[in-house]
Amino acid sequence: MMKSRFVHITLAALLAMVVPGRCLAADDPAPESPLIDSNEVSPDEVAATVNGEPVTLGAVNEAMKGVLQGRSLNPATLPLLQAEVLSQLIDRELLTQMLAKSGKAAPDTEITQAFDQVKRQAEEKKVDLAKSLADRGLTEEQFREQLAWQINWAKFLQTALTGSVMRKYFEAHKRHFDGTELRVSHILMRPDSAGSPAETERLTKMAEKLRGHIESGKLTFEEAAKKYSAGPSRHKGGDLGMIPRNGLMLEQFTAAAFSLEKGKISQPVVTPYGVHLIKVTDEKPGRKIWSEVKEAIKGPATQAIFEKLAAAEREKAKIDYTGKCPHFKPGTRTLATE
C-alpha cells in the first residue's frame, strides 16, 4: 500500500515519460538533472480545484515520485511532466466524484478497514506511518483518499473490464499487441538547456512548418533530417531502425509511430527530449492472437476506459487552476504560460 500511485495504471501516455530500461528515443542522451525537492512544498497547497474539490501539490509530488521512482529528469522537461501528472489527478478526481454520485463508491467503513490494515502492517514492520506519509508530502487524509480511489476503481473495473471489452480493444488495436514492428525515421528538434513552454511551442511551430515543406515536396524527409535534426540518426536520414510497440522508445514516440500508416509523417510529437517528426518507412506484421496477449491488454484497455469516462466528465466539470503547478491549456496538451 505504501507504494500506492496516483492512478490505477502503468501511465502509458504519461505515464511513460520515464519507464524502466531503454526508454529513450535512440538518439536521446540520459537526463542529467534531478527532480525538484518536493519536500519543500506544503502538501495542503492547492494546484487545482475540480467542481470545488482540491487537488493538492502534495498529491502531485507524491504522484511524481511514483512515476520517476528515483530516476533523474532534465529540468527543461519537468513542467511537462508535472502538467501531465496534474491532468491525471484531475481526471481521477472527476471519476471519484462520478462513482460517488452513481452510488458505486465503497462505504466509509470499508475504507476505514483498509486504512486500519495499512496501519497494522506498518506497526508490524516498525514503520512510523505518519512520518512515512509526511516524507512523501502526504497528510493522512490525502492517503485515505488515495486508498479510497484504489478500492473504488478496482470495484468498478470488475464489471467494466470484461473479456468482451478487452477482445474488442484488441481487434481495434491489433497492431499494438500482435508483435508488429515498424521501421521509423525521425527528425528531432531539441530545446535549449533552459527549456520552457514557450520553447516547446517555438519548436512545435518549426516542426509544423518543416512538415509542410516535406509534404509539399520542397525536400525529402531524409534531406530534412540531415539538415535539421539534432539527433545522431540525421547522418542516416533520420533512420532509427525497427522498433516494437513497447519497451524501446518513450511511449509518446511509440504511440505516435504506431498510429501512422507506412509512408506517412506524424504531426509534431512532444517528448521530454524535444519535438519530433516521425515517419514510418516499413512494417513487419505480427502474428500473435488474442489469447496470447490477453494479460497485456488489461492495462491499455483500463486506460482507455479511464480516459473515455474522464473526457465525458470534463465536458461538464468546473476546473480551476491556482497557477502553483504547471498545467495544460484547457482542451490541449500545450502548457499554459502563466
Per-residue pLDDT, 199: 83
Distances in Å between the Cα of 203 and the Cα atoms of 27, 97, 189, 259 are 17, 38, 7, 22
| Distance, CA of 64 to CA of 179 (rounded, Å) | 31
Beta bridge partners of 77: none
Q: Domain residue spans in the chain?
A: 1-178+288-338, 179-284
**pLDDT at res. 331:** 86
Helix (H, G, I), strand (E, B) or coil at 181: strand
Q: Given this model, what pLDDT does residue 143 score?
A: 87
Residue type, 264: K
C-alpha closest to that of 56 among 166, 139, 126: 139
What CATH code would you report for 1-178+288-338? 1.10.4030
Does residue 8 have a pLDDT over 90? no
Q: Which fold has domain 179-284?
A: Chitinase A; domain 3 (3.10.50)
**pLDDT at 271 (0 to 100):** 86
Under 8 Å between Cβ of 219 and 265 = no
pLDDT in the model for residue 40:
56
Distance in angstroms (rounded) separating the CA atoms of residues 32 and 24: 13
Measured distance CA(182)–CA(59) in Å, rounded:
38
Residue 206 clears pLDDT 70, i.e. is over it: yes
Task: Retrieve residue 44's grid coordinates.
Answer: 495542503
pLDDT at residue 41, rounded to an integer: 59
Contact assessment for residue 234 and residue 30, using Cβ atoms and an 8 Å cutoff: no
